[in-house]
Amino acid sequence: NGDKLIFPGGIFPVVDAHRLEAEFDAAVLERIMHDLEAGIIPPGTGVSINVSGVSIVTQSATDKLLSFAKFLDRYKLVVEITETALITHINHASSNLNKLRKAGFVIALDDFGSGYSSFRYLSSMPVDVVKFDISMVRSLEEGGRQGIIVENLTKLIRDAGFKLVAEGIETQATLELVTALGFTHAQGYYLGRPAKLG
């Protein structure tokens, strides 16, 4: 059924099991390009594009992403990459992301806190936005020693000049908590669920 939404948990295990990350990324990029060219995505909005570690180190994927630059006068385009992917291929990934940043893309570090979370890597990555993984947000909600650590980590990263996104926002109380801590953006079911364009 073409109208059925397939959630990440239903497709990514298949993609990973068959090592189809590059092919999946290419198909997603083609669809986004089609939607932008057809005007399906309203001008003045933006698109966040998740790119796998397999793709971000290749010239072909970087060139494909750079072909989106023609839309930057009408859309905010964000390239999201996970910290694990960056750390595994730090030099190639950083070089390609720097090219995208110079072209006008915003670079987001996705799922921060779910992998290595090394400050050494974070400080050297060409990143504009840090997206705190849902596990980090839950730690803030629960408080205690872990909550204190994440709260201070939030301040440290914010003071270093990064924009912060809180993932997994499901209640008004959590939204108020992350807003008070200085998160600049949030995402989660409380704010909106996946839906078809148009």
**Positions marked catalytic:** 167
As a whole number of angstroms, the distance between CA 127 and CA 79 comes to 10
**How many CB atoms sit inside 10 A of residue 144's CB?**
8
- Distances, alpha carbon 54 to alpha carbons 24, 85, 110, 153, in Å: 11, 8, 15, 29
